[in-house]
Chains A and B, each alone.
Chain A
Amino acid sequence: MDMMQTIEVVEKVLLVIVIILVIFDIYLYVNDTDGDTISNILKNWVNDRFFFITYLWGVLAGHFFLGDKDPIITNTAWSLTIVLFIALLLFISGMFFKKRIPPKGQIILLVFGVIIGHFFWSLN
């Protein structure tokens, strides 16, 4: 399969996944159980100890939508290593925190993630 065909297949796969997730989430919202939607569980994860997820969301934004034309790291393996190493540090920190981090902390994690994604994991 050539490049254009692969992109079209990947686009369709992603679109199908998004549609399924949206329908699933609507079902979870209207069903009898409270607090089981995708938003709810991500909120619980991230406000408990898994705030590395917030950071990764920022990294993906920097990676997909931004991306320095002259990035600090050009080798994908190294980019991923750095991104994941920071995620690991955040995961371990989360295990030792006693209090929940404030919403401002989540915002900082998002911005930090975007910066990392833009400078260290650029597609350009």
Chain B
Amino acid sequence: MDFNQINRNITDRVCKILETKAARYTQIVVIAVISFLIILDFYLFISDKATVSETIRDNANNQLFVITWVWGILAAHLFVCRPKDSNKIPELLGIAILLIISVIIFLLGKYVNVPIPQYMHIILLALGGVSGYYFWAQEIEEDKA
């Protein structure tokens, strides 16, 4: 395959993926938000101000380690899909359970006055991921390809 062919293949594939009609508006919003955050962070970095990364890191390392837990949940919910009909827990119930646990962890953060050790963040990420998988997973059909 020459370079032009490869280039056309990639462009076609990207266009096909972006063309799911129902979601056109959502895709634009997501891309816009991500772009805004990248530009904002770039600006903060160049002006030697506190970047988005540092802000999140400072908060997560002090009292808001619930952010780490939620990040874990979202990782499983957004990216790791379960086979169709394998999840027996109704979606709203699953979300409610996760919300309650999140509030508890949030309150724990207010109560604990010292920064938690780094391995706790690993545990929070992993637990969040597992919980997200069992309580709030998206489902996907069998790959028929």
- A positions within 8 Å CB-CB of B: 1, 3, 6-7, 10-11, 13-14, 17, 21, 24, 28, 33-50, 53-54, 57-58, 60-61, 63-67, 76, 95, 98-100, 103, 106-107, 109-110, 114, 123
Contacts and interface: CB of A to CB of B under 8 A. Distances in A.
B23 A6 contact: no
The B interface, classified by DSSP as helix, strand, loop or mixed, is: helix
Contacts of B114: none
Size class of the B contact interface (CB-based, 8 Å): 35 or more
Contact of A100 (B29, B44, B143): B143
Contact of A7 (B58, B68, B121, B143): B58
A45 B23 CA distance: 11
Given A11-B55, A17-B37, A44-B17, 11 more contacts: A1-B49, A6-B44, A10-B40, A14-B56, A34-B22, A40-B138, A42-B30, A64-B53, A66-B122, A95-B13, A106-B79
A15 to B, nearest CB: 10
Nearest to B60: A65
Contacts of A39: 77-78, 138
Contacts of B23: 35-36, 40-41, 44
